[in-house]
Amino acid sequence: MERLGYIGLGIMGRGMAANLIAAGHPLTVWNRTPSKAEGLNANLVDSPQDVGPASDIVFVCVSDTPDVEEVVFGDYGVIHGMTFGDVLVDHSTISPVATAGFAARAAELGVAWIDAPVSGGSEGAERGTLAVMAGGDTVALERVRPLMETYSSSIVHVGDEPGSGQMVKAVNQILVVLNQLAASEALMLADAAGLDLQKTLSAVEGGAAGSWMLSNRGPQMIERDWSPGFTIDLQQKDLRLVLEAADEVGATLPGTALVFQLYRSLQTRGLGSEGNHALVKALENLTGNELAG
């Protein structure tokens, strides 16, 4: 059995790690806040570097590009404990350009890098239904695929070049936030017209207007439940990466830029820790009307 390590037990990583453990894979783990490892039947170590010698395959799921660089290549980074033939799977959502550079640095030490950002929210991580978009070497990916299947229902190899997974995640995030904006506007109209919101949702979600965001976040919006499957702050980090990637390739994304500014208005109100479906609050602020108020 491959020896496995996991770095990052946040809103996504903990559920993924728990599914690996439930499938019978012992884990060596590290997290910046050790208390987040409580309740996991895992070996908690003192630094990312300590994960390396205990692992043949290391999974990383942290917040942003600098965090990946720190836990992998920093003074106490995991790469210092890894050896030739090991694999690092990065489930974080970070810069595609930086990913290519990280993969090249790892390759110099004989470590294969798979960039494998995920989609599906904390619910998907817990239920094992995440979608994985993976870039990197085919052989290395096939080696880790059975492990990723413990927490995902879709694993697509989108390209051999490291960073291709991150670029597909950028595409994914555009669809996520514009679907969320559409759901927000639609429910605001239904509410203003005096319609029953739950019946309206049931009527439209089974047709061409249906989407994951509408079916999963619509009920939360109606109940005014802002608990996060994915926070506004993390969504904004992803949108910054999307807009940077668009600038690099010369793509025009006016809708994405609009949502970025709407989320920023919520951050300035101190709402960054709420779920990304709280985007509707930006529309409420514009109209002066509260959804399901």
**Residues labelled as active-site residues:** 169
Q: Which residues of 205-238 are buried (b: 16+ CB within 10 A; e: fewer)?
A: beeeeebbbbebbbebbbeeebebbbbbbbbbbb
DSSP code for 3: -
CA distance 31 to 259: 31
The counts of H helices and E strands in the chain are 12, 9
Check the CA dihedral 266-278-240-58 and report its sign. Answer: positive
> Reduced to 3 states, what is the DSSP secondary structure of residue 277?
helix
273 exposure class (CB count in 10 Å sphere: 0-12, 13-18, 19+): middle
